Amino acid sequence: MPDTARLPPAAYDDDFVAWSLDQAERLRALAASGVNLPLDLPHLAEEIEDLGKNVRNLCRNQVRRIIEHLLKLQCSPATAPRNDWKTSIVEARQELRDKLTATIERDLTDTLPTLFADARRRAVLGMERHGEADAAKSMPWHCPWALDSILRDDWYPEQP
């Protein structure tokens, strides 16, 4: 949870996820104080917190998508789909650029091993479906890239 004493109101524009967690915490504190307002404070807090979680989950999904296609670019011998994979990576990076905040970056860094494992499973299944089971076996088991590389425009792994 963010430190509520230090989050200015401008945090809404700067870091929506941190703002939503902060506001949910403040609404819960207000509800606990017994204030008599015609507001459904517990549900308002839950909904505001969920808005932040939705942004976080969207970002996680885009990172999974990027990693899946980076793995295919690195390990697949196929040539025809390479431009489609790059296009998908570019689109996901653009989508993330609009939502990235310090809170989201910390979350993505913290969850990168899990996001990588999820993306690896998707990439393996896709490659096996297209007859590339041997190439799928060459995929790394742990993420070989830092988050800043994964998010960096025009960066792609070298094919071994």
Ranges of each domain in the chain: 11-151
* Residue 98 binned pLDDT confidence (cut-offs 50, 70, 90): confident
Average pLDDT over residues 70-76: 97
For residue 57, give both structure tokens. Answer: 């989950």
Q: Is the pLDDT score of 10 beyond 90? A: no
CA distance 59 to 79: 28
| pLDDT (tens digit per residue) in 39-54 | 888 898 899 889 999 9
- For 11-151, CATH gives 1.20.1220.20
Instruction: Give pTM, 2 decimals.
Output: 0.86
Extended beta strands in 27-151, E state? none
- Given a cut of 50, whether residue 4 has pLDDT beyond it is no
pLDDT of 113 strictly over 60 = yes
Q: How would you class 85 by CB atoms within 10 Å of its CB: exposed for 0-12, middle for 13-18, buried for 19 or more?
A: buried
Instruction: List the structure tokens of 9.
Output: 């109101």
pLDDT score for 6: 54
Q: What is the CA radius of gyration of the chain?
A: 20
